[in-house]
Structure 1
Amino acid sequence: MARNKEYDENEVLRKAMELFWKQGYEKTSMQDLVTHMGIHRRSIYDTFGDKHTLFMKALEQYAEIIETKIETQVKSQGSVKQAIRRLFEMVIPKNEQQPIGCLTVNSAVELSLQDEEAAEKVAESFDRTENLLYELLLHGQKSGEISDQHDMKKLSQFFHNSLVGLRVLTKTTDDKQKLESIIDLTLSVLD
């Protein structure tokens, strides 16, 4: 008879995600995962597979969390400019317990050149964000909130690049005023 799991799969996966986010893939050992997740090594292998498979599942969970935040915090904004501002503000850490930066961007920097599966996940995430920006900008253009003199595809690429840059910058500074000023200047393109 199989034993019932004595842990919540989503909760321990969240713990693994947080550890990968904080330390990166290469610096996180299986022992680190055992300790941080609070489950046995055998349970990790039985439930999630090897370290790489666990990491891929952690990236998927991270993408789902971000998607939920976008649905509740970005798409609910009254104006397109406010929605885009909110997307950028989500990048700024709210407290010291939150890991620094973005797991997707961290993974892009650490693994994209050597791990095809991670590179694909990163590319999918980047495409979703760029498409979101494109849809928001197009909606803003159609509603008259954003000038029709802009090429929305190029503008969405510019905003996505700026957003990725901001995600990297949050790893090097906790100067929230600096980060807000960067957001202000980036969004001034829409004025």
Structure 2
Amino acid sequence: MARTREFDVDQATDRAMDLFWRRGYAETSLQDLLRELSIGSGSFYAAFGSKEQLYVRCLERYTSLQGSDLEQTLDGTTGIRPAIRKVLTSMIEADLAEPTRGCLVVSASTHCGEQPSAADRVTAAVRQVESFLAGALERAQVRGELSPDKDPRELARFLTTFIQGIRIVGQARTGREFAEDALSVAMRALD
């Protein structure tokens, strides 16, 4: 008879995500994960399969939460400029408050080239951001908030790239003035 799992997989995933976020994939050993999750290796393998599979699960959870927030912000306002400014400002503020934390997707994109499933998850996350932004920009264009000569998909790709870049320079601790100057230029792309 199989043993009943004695831990909450979602809570364990959240704790593992926090550990990966703080230390990075390569610097987080299986022993670190077992200690952080307070489980044995048999329970770990039964629940998660492998370190890489757990990492991908953490990336999926992170992108789901971040994507939900992004989608809600973009759909929760009638004006595209205030919505995009809010999204970008919240990222800048998060990086100013905790510069070493950064973005888990950015960290994964720069450190997980060796893990194809993690790289695939990063690509999917970037495409998700692009899709949410493109949809919001298309709706804004229909409402007359965005010039008809603007291409919503191109703007979405620019903003997606800007988001990744602003997260990187946030970790570089370039400061508020640097980030706000960059934000001003990015916002002008919508004019």
TM-score normalized with structure 1 length:
0.88
**Greater CA drift, 122-131 or 149-158:** 149-158
* 1:108 aligned residue: 109
String of CA shifts for 1:11-37, please: whole Å, max 9, x gaps. Answer: 110011111122111111011112222
* 2:176 aligned residue: 176
Change (3 A) 1:127 1:81: same
TM-aligned CA deviation for residue 75 of structure 1: 2.2
* 2:156 aligned residue: 156
Change (3 A) 1:133 1:24: same
Q: What CA distance in whole angstroms lies between the structure 2 residues aligned with 1:181 and 1:95?
A: 14
String of CA shifts for 1:133-162, please: whole Å, max 9, x gaps. Answer: 111111111111111222222222111111
Residues 80 and 145, structure 1, Cα contact 8 Å, conserved in 2: yes
* 1:42 aligned residue: 42
What is the root-mean-square deviation in Å for CA atoms of aligned residues?
Answer: 2.2
Change (3 A) 1:76 1:123: same
Residues 18 and 99, structure 1, Cα contact 8 Å, conserved in 2: no
- In structure 2, give the amino acid aligned to 1:100: R
String of CA shifts for 1:6-62, please: whole Å, max 9, x gaps. Answer: 322111100111111221111110111122223223221111111111111111111
**Greater CA drift, 100-109 or 149-158:** 149-158
String of CA shifts for 1:67-116, please: whole Å, max 9, x gaps. Answer: 2212333321231112222222332317857962211111111113x222
**Percentage of matched positions with identical amino acids:** 28
TM-aligned CA deviation for residue 119 of structure 1: 1.7
TM-score normalized with structure 2 length:
0.88
- In structure 2, give the amino acid aligned to 1:71: E
Partner of 1:91: helix, strand, or coil? helix
Residues 131 and 156, structure 1, Cα contact 8 Å, conserved in 2: yes
* 2:120 aligned residue: 120
Q: What CA distance in whole angstroms lies between the structure 2 residues aligned with 1:144 and 1:24?
A: 44
Q: What CA distance in whole angstroms lies between the structure 2 residues aligned with 1:127 and 1:61?
A: 16
Matched, 1:85 2:56: no
Q: What CA distance in whole angstroms lies between the structure 2 residues aligned with 1:95 and 1:36?
A: 27
Residues 133 and 156, structure 2, Cα contact 8 Å, conserved in 1: yes
- In structure 2, give the amino acid aligned to 1:105: V
Segments of 5+ residues of structure 1 without an aligned counterpart are: none
Q: How many residues align?
A: 190
- In structure 2, give the amino acid aligned to 1:185: V
String of CA shifts for 1:113-139, please: whole Å, max 9, x gaps. Answer: x22222211111111111111111111
Q: What CA distance in whole angstroms lies between the structure 2 residues aligned with 1:19 and 1:98?
A: 16
- In structure 2, give the amino acid aligned to 1:35: R
Residues 100 and 170, structure 1, Cα contact 8 Å, conserved in 2: no
* 2:8 aligned residue: 8
